Structures are given as C-alpha cells and as structure tokens.
Amino acid sequence: MYERGEGCKVDKELSNAWYKVSSRGYYYQLRHQTTRSLDKEQEKLYKSLKRSDDVLTQNTIRQFTQSLYSLKPHAATYFLFASYRYGALYPDTNGHPAKEVETEFQISLKFNYGANLLGFGEIYSIGYTQKSFWQLYASSAYFRETNYNPEAFVTFPLHNMASIDYLKAFRLSFEHQSNGRGGVEERSWNYLSSSFYFQYKAIFTELKLWHRLPDATDYNPDLLEYLGHGHIQFMLPYKQHLAKLLLRSSFHGKSAVEVNYSHPVFGRDDLFFYFKAFSGYGESLIDYNHKVHKIGLGFSISR
C-alpha cells in the first residue's frame, strides 16, 4: 500500500521497512516449515477433484479431502523409546511381570474455540493430554498405565499491564484426571487450577496452583499429600536448546523434580531430541504414592 499509494501517501521508506518485516518474519517462517511441500501436494490433489456446482457441497468436499482442523499442541507431545526406572521394580500388573525399561509417550492437543468475549483479549480452549507407560520390552508388551487429562480453560493476556511487566498471562482451568481403571486400581480426581505465566529476560516461569473438588466416590483420598497443591516450572530457551525444570512439594515430606531437554534434529522445526528425568512422587496416578526415579530418551514433535 505504501509502495503504490493505495489508501495512503506513497512512502518508499515505509514500504521497504514493511517488506523487511515480512521477509524476516512471516515469509522466513513459512519457508522453513517442513510441511510446506506436503501442503502443496495436498492442494494439487484437491484441485484435481471434480468440483460440485453446489457451493456448500464443494465446501464440505474441501473440508474432508484436505483434513482441515484447528488443533494445536498443548503440553509436549513426545515418545521415549527407552525410559529406565532405577532403584525399584515396577509391580506386576494382573500377573504380568514388568521390566525396568519401558517406553513412555504423551499426546497433548488443544482447540481454541473462542476469544475476547469479555473484551480482555482472553482465549477460550479445551485440551486433552494422554500419557501412557508401555511395557514394550516385556514378553506380553502390555500398557502398564495410562493417564487421561481432559480440561477446559480460559487464558487472559496481561501484556497491557505496565505495573506488572513480568506477568504475561493468567489461566483458569477445570480439569479431570484419571487412569480409566475400576476397583482398587482406580485413580481419579477433579480440580480447579490457576496458572500464572512470567517472563524475565529469557527465563519463562509457570506457577500453577490447584484445588481438588469433592468426589462422590473418593478412590485416593490422600492424593494431595503426595501431589501437593501446585508446582512451579522454569523454562530456558538458548539458541536451539530448550531446558525445563519442574518442582513440586506437598509440604508433607513428599516432593518431585522433573527435568526436560529438547533440541531440533535433522535440521527440522517439528522434530526434536527429547530427554526426561524424574525423581519423586506423582509421576503417574497408579504410582502416585511411590517414589520413582526415571530417565528417558526419545523424540518429541512439540515442545
């Protein structure tokens, strides 16, 4: 617009400045997306299909042939091909003996369905996280434990509040977590949580607090004696490295420390080497009251 004087005066300097912004940011980001060639081929395939004369029918064809969706990464999505527990053995599950080495993976997605309904720039979302512990190296290769964590939350940005420059966002969530089992092995709870997000230079911090809601049937009444009422997490990006440190304490002598590290591999922006170390209580629901020490290596597709 500045180059051609469309709706404004011709200004070559501003025109050049905005072209530079585009080349450094948006175009650079698209040019380095590993899915760029895949999207092009998908578009070619769609254009080769016979079109419908009905606009609504054609739109439906476009949606299901191009697999259009608006899911985004939530927590890290990773696969640890080797996760080693040291210092203690896993208990047998339904007569199946467990190995010290297993695979662990987590899938975490969110869908942002609304924004700015109250005029604060807030974002409304639903999320789902599933973490599974797979005894891949055991004779029967069974799933030792799976934890399910659906949630609904709203995030308020606080970037306009100059008086608290370090506080960037605030989130309110309703969450459910369970392992999907019944009887004596059932572990589940409902809770409200609030998260505060800070930034100081290159250090990002999340302070998350939760309050357990009463359950009709309480299968694990002492859960918070091991999980506590919140955690604090520090995230440090440096060049292409990203390190995370999570600390949790129940103030009943039960605590946990988790360290994560990731780095891009093969020059990609969507595949990372992933290292995870955990020590303490609450690594999984089935073992929430057992102290666990683990290290794992694998890959992640989101950070």
Active-site residue list:
176, 178
Reading the block at residue 67, the tokens are: 């697999």
The β-bridge partners of 208 are 195, 231
251, 224 contact by CB (below 8 A): no
Residues 6+ apart with CB under 8 A from 164: 158
Reading the block at residue 302, the tokens are: 């989101």
Which one-letter DSSP state was computed for residue 52?
A: P
Exposure of 17 by Cβ count < 10 A (0-12 exposed, 13-18 middle, 19+ buried)?
Answer: exposed
Neighbour tally for 281: CB within 10 Å: 22
Separation of alpha carbons 261 and 276, rounded Å:
7
Separation of alpha carbons 85 and 292, rounded Å:
7
Residues 6+ apart with CB under 8 A from 143: 132, 133, 134, 135
Neighbour tally for 80: CB within 10 Å: 23
Exposure of 202 by Cβ count < 10 A (0-12 exposed, 13-18 middle, 19+ buried)?
Answer: exposed
